[in-house]
Amino acid sequence: MANLAELVAAAAAPDRDAALAQGRADELRRLALGAGVDVVGIAPASRWDDFVPPGARPYDILPGAKSVVVVGVRGPSAGAWLSPDHRLIEMNGYDFANDRVIHLVADHIEHEYGYQAIQAPGLPVGGHQPAFSMMLAAVLAGLGTRSFAANIVLNPQYGLLYYSACLTTLELPADPMLAQDVCPHPMCVQVYKAGGRTPCQAACPSDDGGCLHGTIGPDNRIASTYYDRERCVSRAMNFGINSFQKAMEQIANEDDAERRRMMIHSDFFTRSASAIAFYKESVAQCFECMRVCPIGRAERKLK
C-alpha cells in the first residue's frame, strides 16, 4: 500500500509534468525568437488528423510525433517593400532565418530534452506538392489564416511570413488556432462591396490576365477563392532549379550553334545557373498581391 508521501507525490505528478512541458515550450519560444524569427506557434500532431489523409500527417514523417513547433519570419525588408523598382523585392532562399532557427529548435529538443525531432521537409518533391504543408502548419499552430491572395497564410501582425516546422516526439502545450480570420481586412470588405474585388484581386485579376478571384459572403468572411497557381508560378518563380532544367533541355535540343551560344550566355540562363551554384534559388519575384494588402503594413512603417 502506498504511504502518504507517495500518494501526495503521485497527485502532484501531473502538475509537475505540465509545468515541465510549459517550461520547455517557453524555453523553445525564447530560443527561436532570440535567434531571429518573428513568431512561434505550437500545435499537437493530432490536429493534422482532421485536415490531411494518412501519409501526410506528422506521425507519417516522424513515428510517434506528438507536437509540431512552427516558426515564421518576415521576408522582404521594410525598405524593399518601399523601393520603386519592384524587382528589388525578390526573395532568395533556402537559408532563411526560419530554416536556420528550426534546426536550432530541433537540436535543442534532442540535445537538451532527449526527445526526437526533425525539420519538416520544406522542399517540393513532386511538382509543386510539398511533402508537408508549411501553410497548414502555420494555421494549425495558430499563427495565421489563409487569404484571398494566392492562399498565402497571413499573420495578424506581420502579414506575409515564411514558415518552417519541427516535428517532435516531445509533448508540448499547444497554442490555440486563431479564432478570427485575418483576411479579409475590414477595409478590403468595403473595397469589395464597392467594386466587386478586394485589393489583391484587383492587383492580379484572374479575368484580366492575373491569378486571383473570390467572393465574400454576407458574414464578411471568405466564401470562395480562386487562385491560378500555374500562372502565378510562371510569374513569381522564374529562376532556380526548375528554370535551369527547362533551359538545359532547350539548349541541349538546339541544333544551331550560334543560337545555342546565345542561350547559354543569356540573362535567363545565367541567373538560373547562379541560383543553382549558390543554392540561393530565387523563391519569389512577384509580390504585387501582397504589396496592396493592409495586413502587416504597420510593421513596415519605419523612419
Interface contacts to ligand SF4, rule CB under 6 A: 147-150, 183-185, 188, 198-200, 203-204, 210-212, 232, 235-236, 286, 288-289, 292-293, 295
Q: In this structure, what are the phi and psi dihedrals at residue 41, rounded to the nearest 5 degrees? A: -140, 155
Residue number, 48 or 96, with CB nearest to ligand SF4: 96
Element (H, E) at 119: strand 117-119
CB 10 within 8 A of CB 2: yes
Smallest distance, ligand SF4 to C-beta of residue 297, A: 10
Smallest distance, ligand SF4 to C-beta of residue 303, A: 25
How far does the chain reach from its first CA to its final CA, in angstroms? Answer: 70
Smallest distance, ligand SF4 to C-beta of residue 283, A: 11
Residue number, 166 or 204, with CB nearest to ligand SF4: 204
User: Is the alpha carbon torsion for 130, 131, 136, 142 positive or negative?
Assistant: negative
User: From residue 237, how far is each of 46, 119, 125, 128, 230 by CA, in Å?
Assistant: 33, 24, 16, 11, 10
- Cα separation, 1 vs 77, whole angstroms: 65
- Cα separation, 153 vs 290, whole angstroms: 11
In the DSSP assignment, the letter for residue 214 is E
Residue number, 100 or 235, with CB nearest to ligand SF4: 235
Smallest distance, ligand SF4 to C-beta of residue 48, A: 25
Residue number, 58 or 210, with CB nearest to ligand SF4: 210
Residue number, 69 or 292, with CB nearest to ligand SF4: 292
CB 216 within 8 A of CB 189: yes
Smallest distance, ligand SF4 to C-beta of residue 13, A: 46
- Cα separation, 109 vs 165, whole angstroms: 13
Residue number, 32 or 154, with CB nearest to ligand SF4: 154
CB 285 within 8 A of CB 236: yes
In the DSSP assignment, the letter for residue 205 is B
Smallest distance, ligand SF4 to C-beta of residue 187, A: 7
